[in-house]
Chain A
Amino acid sequence: MRHELSLVAIALILLVTDLMLKPSQKPRIIPVAVVLFSIHTILGFLPACEGILFGGMFRATALIGMMKNVLNVGVLIILLQSYTWIMKEENRDKMSEYFILMFSTLTGMYFMISSGDFLMFYLGLETATIPMAALAAYTHHQTKSAEAGVKLILSSALSSGILLFGLSLIYGSTGSIYFSDVAQLYSNAPMQVLAFLFFFSGMAFKISLVPFHLWTADVYEGSPINVTSYFSVISKGAASFILVLILYKVFFQLVYVWQDLLYIISVLTMVVGNLFALRQKNMKRFLAFSSIAQAGFILLGMIAGSQMGMTSVIYFVLVYIFSNLGAFGVVSAIEASTGKINMGDYDGLYHTNPKLSLLMMLSMFSLAGIPPVAGFFGKFFLFTSAASAGYYWLVFIAVLNATISLYYYLMVVKAMFINKTDTPIAKFRSDNMTRAGLILSGLGILVVGFWAQVYEFIFNLSVGLF
């Protein structure tokens, strides 16, 4: 409960501080938010108290605490990276809303991950989703941002509706909404399988799995870039965490149903995500489709249904946070200072901005899964856990897809290092906060890969699950 309490406290402090500041003093809210959130992140790593609250609706374990810490680290990096963008003149009058909305969605995700029954799960899901639409429509005078907001709120409302219909059938067939009761009463009855399918389609919308991915690219392109990075790592990570927890804990009786389902959906997601990523010229859309493909890889870890699968999913999300935020950080720094967003604009970036190009290269290598960096180990553990459950063909298809993805990730690297142009992006220097965010994600890509204890630590935490 400590995570939730301190985050709600931070959001309230920001709200009150914002009321007391004069319009000219508004920028002071940024250091306050960043410092408070850093303290919150560090506090999260203290040993957590485990237990159950509200008659089983809320539960906290060391593993769930670890999931929240992973999300915290990602949000901290995003806050640092959004400094240049949030300081723009057009955002001045609504600066603190950005932080408050972001912290409310994060609170929702905490409750969602910690939920012990479907009611708390649904509340957390909606608390995470509704402010997110407001974030997507944040720059309200831009048509694209408004369009992204309406596309997000309508498609996510539809998906919650489908999910809820599944939940109502689950309640009708078992008579309980508590995870522990439902897990015991669940069987292979047709109505229960149907209820599970409704539930799964709702979740697939949130993680943007094919065929429920159509909203992703538009929302990612239209939203402000820092909000996009929040969608693609934090919101996707939280939804994957709760999906893997629910699949393993609640629907374990249906393991043969969801293993087949995950098999098909993961192949579809990887192939479609990769093929569409090949033809994108806009960096935001490119990263959107690459993140769809990455979601397909996450399913590979879930399909194993073992402790190893759980560990590999959490580890992969941690790695994915660092590598995707590295890429998004570079794109956002370039967009904030030059307004350029297309892949063609990156030609010759190395000659003018060598450090940024280096970080972008590291992130691309990590997303593609090239050995020395963290992304390789993330994919390696996912593949191992799927192979240990006997899914050799699936792993083969995934490796093929990783090779396809290498092509388009290297296209970016080629543009930066090899392509020649007369008008490269001029040399610029980001402010210190953005630089700190970029350095953090770069360090994460290197350290998490080389430091094997991280994986073992998560592995030991997920022991109690089975």
Chain B
Amino acid sequence: MTGTIPLQYFLIISTLMFFTGIYGFLTRKNLITMLMSIELILNSVNINFVAFNRYLYPENLHGHFFSLIVIAVAAAEAAVAIAIIINIYRNFRSIDVDKVDEMKF
């Protein structure tokens, strides 16, 4: 496959996305932004799966199936998470993690 983008480029992008997601999750104070960071992580995984499948193992489609299912599950997860975040907003009148701190050790 001369003239195409090398596999490494995809992996660099996906790794950057993964760690951006982790960094965002750990530093952001807004629950919705934390959820967006998780979506970044899941999408980096999707890029990995699809790139590996396309470049290394084009004879089967396991990677494509996997990324499709990850997308579906991420949607379900986001739905439940947002429902719970709305509930948090109703209870605390805020979705800032610093305000949601009724329990600490």
Contact = CB atoms under 8 A, between A and B. Distances in A.
A133 to B, nearest CB: 6
Contact of B52 (A133, A143, A160, A171): A171
B41 A158 contact: yes
Interface in A119-178: 119, 122-123, 126, 130-131, 133-134, 137, 140-144, 146-150, 153-154, 157-158, 160-162, 164-165, 167-169, 171-172, 175-177
Contacts of A379: none
Interface string B84-105: 1101101110000000101111
Given A154-B31, A164-B70, A285-B105, A176 B48 contact: no
A303 B92 CA distance: 44
Given A130-B80, A144-B102, A146-B88, A171 B41 contact: no
B84 A150 contact: yes
Interface stretch (A216-224, A229-237, A332-340, A386-394): A216-224
B57 A175 contact: yes
A150 B85 contact: yes
A130 B77 contact: yes
B48 A133 contact: no
A171 B50 CA distance: 10
A225 to B, nearest CB: 15
B45 A161 contact: yes
A148 B57 CA distance: 42
A171 B80 CA distance: 28
Given A146-B88, A149-B84, A161-B41, A222 B34 contact: no
Interface string B41-78: 11011001100110011000011011001100100110
Interface residues of A, number: 43
A362 to B, nearest CB: 28
Given A143-B92, A165-B41, A165-B48, A177 B87 contact: no
A150 B66 contact: no
Contact of B77 (A126, A144, A150, A177): A126
A137 to B, nearest CB: 5
A222 B81 contact: no
A417 to B, nearest CB: 28
A137 B76 contact: no
Interface in B16-36: 18, 21-22, 25, 31, 34-35
A186 to B, nearest CB: 16
Interface in A250-274: none
A133 B88 contact: no
Contacts of A217: 103, 105
B56 A222 contact: no
B99 to A, nearest CB: 10
B44 A165 contact: yes
Contacts of B77: 126, 130, 153, 157, 160
Nearest to A177: B62
Contact of B66 (A149, A169, A171, A218): A171
Interface string A307-346: 0000000000000000000000000000000000000000
Nearest to A154: B34
Contacts of A157: 35, 38, 77, 81
B23 to A, nearest CB: 12
Contacts of A143: 91-92, 102
B41 A162 contact: yes
A161 B45 CA distance: 8
A276 interface: yes
Contact of B103 (A134, A154, A169, A221): A221
B42 to A, nearest CB: 6
Nearest to B52: A172
Interface string A297-313: 00000000000000000
Contacts of A147: 88, 91, 100, 102-103
Contacts of A165: 18, 41, 44-45, 48
5 contacts: A126-B76, A150-B88, A162-B41, A168-B48, A172-B52
Interface of A: 118-119, 122-123, 126, 130-131, 133-134, 137, 140-144, 146-150, 153-154, 157-158, 160-162, 164-165, 167-169, 171-172, 175-177, 217-218, 221-222, 276, 285
